């Protein structure tokens, strides 16, 4: 037998530690268990057993209860975290039910009474091996789920589409720098969630995240709200007041709907970004600030610049690291995972136990254009859970307008642009995703629904990066 095969056998053998003050017992168990294929070490008491447990890992430990110096209970108490690495079976000739229960509470897995037959030891170890196998499999599954969650999650956002994975990757990079970020996308796509994730994954996470809707503040209060004011600066200014930029010191200020800022204030924002300083209303001096700026808008700022409603120099200052969020209708493969995410969320909030969505209902969700994007989907799921009387959400639980395909004046589905090939790709991707969801990922059944060959389906899944 060569050395390589010997090594393979050794690494497949289980390591076992016997702790007992009786030399005859150690000797007998050692012979018995070595014959059964275990690598066996022995210790005369709990103190020596603890020392050996610290020096090398053991799959199983057979430990006597009554021993001088450090007994079995003391061994369990002092072993602590080490018991996570070894399965402990207690042994005693003086055992009672109460003793066994106490040992279990301290981390022992099983308990056998002396004197015992060899078969009893083998049975206890077999049960322990089965338990150890299940524990390791559970750890592997948890690790797989953790990796899957990491792959599909960024902050509080979940997605599996390639488009959103690119957004997550770019946002993750952005979180490690103080670069100004401009997040664009339709209403409801999750711009503030991206901003929050960038802030809380970075070095500024311990400081404030200050969100502000630039279109929700009256024009006459904008300057005071953002830059603060001195006492007496205007009627009603009875004290000094910090502005939002100062509130975000060492943290992040999130300027939502930045496209709503009036031109007069845009000049002052430009100075903040260029010089990192503000001037409170009524003050003759400027103040240095250290606040990261993340801005967002549903508008096309390039068009606003062209129309003269947004300063070009401010746009360039904001657009250092652009993050564009795709609309939900352009990433239908994210709809199933978002649905599960919202079902879990509202089950917890509403105290329900919804398990999922019927294939018919999911098919309807996949055909809807979602003008309100993820926010609209979230509201639809909450409504469906409230109305549902079953553990599965059905078509009837969703608003009647969900699933209705809107058409333009010529009766054709609306696609962006005019390229027929691009429109074909969009439609093919949606139909393949719809078929895969309806069949629970069964490609053979999906082929039958789509009326194409199996190789053709595989090629299109790869080409369109469909991950269902």
Tens of pLDDT along 168-221? 999 999 999 999 999 999 999 999 999 999 999 999 999 999 999 998 888 888
* Structural domain boundaries, residue 379: 328-406
- Of 105, 104, 112, nearest to 20 by C-alpha is 112
| Residues in Cβ contact with 427 at an 8 Å cutoff, skipping those fewer than 6 apart | 413
Same domain, 311 and 338: no
Query: 175 and 250: one domain?
Result: yes
| Residue keyed to tokens 């057979």 | 62
Rounded distance between C-alpha atoms, residue 180 and residue 293, angstroms:
5
Longest Cα separation, the chain: 96
| pLDDT tens readout for residues 351-393 | 999 999 999 899 889 989 999 999 999 999 999 999 999 999 9
The better pLDDT of the pair 426, 341 is held by: 341
Q: Taking residues 62-84, what's their average pLDDT?
A: 86
Total domain count, the chain: 4
Does 411 have pLDDT greater than 50? no
- Of 295, 326, 357, the domain-final residue: 326
What pLDDT sits at residue 416? 53
Residue in this structure with the two tokens 């209705």, named with its chain if needed: 404
Pair (187, 136) in one structural domain = no
Confidence band for 400, pLDDT divided at 50, 70 and 90: confident
Q: Does residue 71 sit in the same domain as residue 188?
A: no
β-sheet bridge partners, residue 270: none
**Phi/psi of residue 292, nearest 5 degrees:** -75, 140
Percent residues over pLDDT 70 in the chain = 90
Give a yes or no: residue 411 inside a domain.
Answer: no
Which whole-number Å values give the CA distances from 98 to 19, 43, 92, 102, in the listed order? 22, 26, 13, 6
Residue 315 shares a structural domain with residue 332: no
DSSP 354-383: --EE-HHHHHHHHH---TTHHHHHHHHHHH
Residue 94 has pLDDT above 80, yes or no: no
pLDDT tens for residues 260-283?
A: 999 989 999 999 999 999 999 888
Domain ends where: 276, 309, 326? 326
With bands split at pLDDT 50, 70 and 90, how would you rate the model's confidence at 85?
confident
Q: List the one residue out of 56, 54, 57 whose CA is nearest residue 79.
A: 54
Q: Is the pLDDT of residue 11 over 50?
A: no
Q: Please enumerate in sequence order all residues whose Cβ is within 8 A of that of 326, keeping only pairs 6 or more positions apart, or say none.
A: 161, 163, 164, 167, 185, 189
Two structure tokens written together for 89 = 């079976």
Residue 152 counted as domain residue: no
User: What CA–CA distances, in Å, run from 371 to 101, 115, 186, 332?
Assistant: 60, 75, 9, 13
Two structure tokens written together for 162:
């390639």
- Residue 2 half-sphere exposure, CB side, CA atoms within 13 Å? 1
The pLDDT, as a whole number, for residue 413 is 47
Q: Are residues 195 and 322 in the same domain?
A: yes
CATH of the domain at 262: 3.40.50.300
Residues 126 and 181 in one domain: no
Residue 91: inside a domain: yes
Task: Please report whether residue 246 resides in a domain.
Answer: yes
* Phi, psi for residue 91 in degrees, rounded to 5: -130, 140
Question: In the structure, what pLDDT confidence band is assigned to residue 408 with cuts at 50, 70 and 90?
Answer: very low
CB 111 within 8 A of CB 63: no
In a domain, 302, yes or no: yes
Are 316 and 334 part of one and the same domain?
Answer: no
CA 253/CA 293 separation, integer angstroms? 5
CB atoms within 10 A of CB 145: 10
Instruction: Kindly state whether residues 90 and 100 are assigned to the same domain.
Output: yes
For 322-347, give the DSSP string. EEEPPPGGG-GGGHHHHHHHHHHHHH
Compute the average pLDDT of residues 68-75. Answer: 86
Same domain, 262 and 293: yes
Mean pLDDT over each residue of the chain, to the nearest integer? 86
- Same domain, yes or no, for 343 and 310? no
What CATH number should be reported for the domain holding residue 389? Answer: 1.10.8.60
Q: What per-residue confidence (pLDDT) applies to 405? A: 54
User: CATH number of the domain that 434 lies in?
Assistant: 1.10.10.60
* Residue 311 placed within a domain: yes
Q: If you write DSSP's letter for every residue of 385-406 in order, what string do you get?
A: HHH--SSEE-GGGS-TTTT---
203, 295, 205: which is closest to 245 by C-alpha? 295
Over residues 69-75, mean pLDDT:
87
Same domain for 439 and 317, yes or no, is no
- E strand or H helix at 121, and its extent? helix 118-152
């Amino acid at each position: 037998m060569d050395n390589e095969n010997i090594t393979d056998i050794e690494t497949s053998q289980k390591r076992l530690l016997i702790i007992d003050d009786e030399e005859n017992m150690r000797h007998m168990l050692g012979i018995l268990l070595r014959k059964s294929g275990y690598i066996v070490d022995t210790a005369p008491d709990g103190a020596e057993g603890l020392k050996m447990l610290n020096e090398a890992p053991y799959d199983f430990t057979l430990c006597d209860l009554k021993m001088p110096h450090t007994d079995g209970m003391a061994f369990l108490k002092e072993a602590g975290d080490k018991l996570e690495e070894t399965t402990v079976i207690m042994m005693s000739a003086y055992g009672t039910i109460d003793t066994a229960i106490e040992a279990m509470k301290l981390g022992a897995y099983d308990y056998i009474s002396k004197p015992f037959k060899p078969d009893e030891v083998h049975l206890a170890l077999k049960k322990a091996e089965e338990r150890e196998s299940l524990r390791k499999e559970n750890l592997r599954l948890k690790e797989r789920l953790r990796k899957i969650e990491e792959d599909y999650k960024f902050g509080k956002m979940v997605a599996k589409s390639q488009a959103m994975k690119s957004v997550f990757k770019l946002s993750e990079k952005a979180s490690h720098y103080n670069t100004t970020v401009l997040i664009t996308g339709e209403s409801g796509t999750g711009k503030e969630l991206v901003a929050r994730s960038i802030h809380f994954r970075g070095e500024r996470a311990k400081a404030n995240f200050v969100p502000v809707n630039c279109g929700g503040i009256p024009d006459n209060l904008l300057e005071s709200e953002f830059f603060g004011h001195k006492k007496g600066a205007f009627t009603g200014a009875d004290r000094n007041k910090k502005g939002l930029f100062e509130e975000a010191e060492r943290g992040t200020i999130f300027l939502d709907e930045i496209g709503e800022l009036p031109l007069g204030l845009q000049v002052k924002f430009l100075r903040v970004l260029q010089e990192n300083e503000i001037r409170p209303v009524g003050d003759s001096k400027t103040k240095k600030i250290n606040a990261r700026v993340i801005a967002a808008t549903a508008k096309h700022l390039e068009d606003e610049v062209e129309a003269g409603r947004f300063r070009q120099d401010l746009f360039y200052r904001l657009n250092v690291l652009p993050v564009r969020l795709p609309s939900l209708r352009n990433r239908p493969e994210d709809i199933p995972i978002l649905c599960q995410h919202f079902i879990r969320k509202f089950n917890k909030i509403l105290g329900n136990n919804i398990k999922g969505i019927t294939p018919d209902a999911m098919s309807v969700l996949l055909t809807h254009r979602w003008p309100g994007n993820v926010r609209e989907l979230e509201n639809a799921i909450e409504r469906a859970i409230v109305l549902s009387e079953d553990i599965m959400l059905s078509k009837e639980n969703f608003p009647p307008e969900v699933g209705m395909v809107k058409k333009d004046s010529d009766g054709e589905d609306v696609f962006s642009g005019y390229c027929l090939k691009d429109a074909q790709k969009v439609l093919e991707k949606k139909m393949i995703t719809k078929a895969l969801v309806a069949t629970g990922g069964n490609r053979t059944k999906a082929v039958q629904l789509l009326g194409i060959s199996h190789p053709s389906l595989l090629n299109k899944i790869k080409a369109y990066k469909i991950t269902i």
